[in-house]
Structure 1
Amino acid sequence: MEIKDELIDHIAHLARLSFKGEDKAGIKNDMNNIIDFMGKLNEINTDNVEPLVFMSDQINVLREDVPKQTITHEEALKNAPKKDSDYFRIPKVLDKTID
């Protein structure tokens, strides 16, 4: 697969990034290296190899999930810079539109 400038521009647009000059050439080189590496993986013979589901045969040892209250509602809100009765108040983060 050949990485062209149009593909880099398209991916940059999707990621809301902008590459120009040397940066675009660097990204193009990095993407070609990734494609080459994936090609090397295709050269490995994987016939009769079971898919790896777990990294080891050990079973996870987990602690008991015991619900308990470690901090009260009032203690949690005590040092909040802004609060509204029972809730933390934060600045709006979704008021901008993306073109």
Structure 2
Amino acid sequence: MANRELAFKAGDVIKVLDASNKDWWWGQIDDEEGWFPASFVRLWVNQEDGVEEGPSDVQNGHLDPNSDCLCLGRPLQNRDQMRANVINEIMSTERHYIKHLKDICE
């Protein structure tokens, strides 16, 4: 697997193409693709529409709120916004789950 590993550094945005293996994921940075350890990254949850790209957002990466990306090194000033987005995502998921349970019970 070593010859197909994806090289990255803190702050890089990795587009995850295959997460079927719990330990190693297949991802892409720019035009490079390869395997990388899933335990070395964390989920980038900011999915809000209208996010503008800026130099303080992600270094050496790009912002694309419409794609499933993982990010290393999130800036600390966005921590409160990220928490709010995670809470909103969890609440939305729970609402959908409850709706599906009601549909099943009917």
User: Same fold per TM (> 0.5)?
Assistant: no
State TM-score, norm by structure 2.
0.29
Which protein has the bigger strand share? 2
Give the number of the structure whose alpha-carbon radius of gyration is greater: 1
State TM-score, norm by structure 1.
0.31
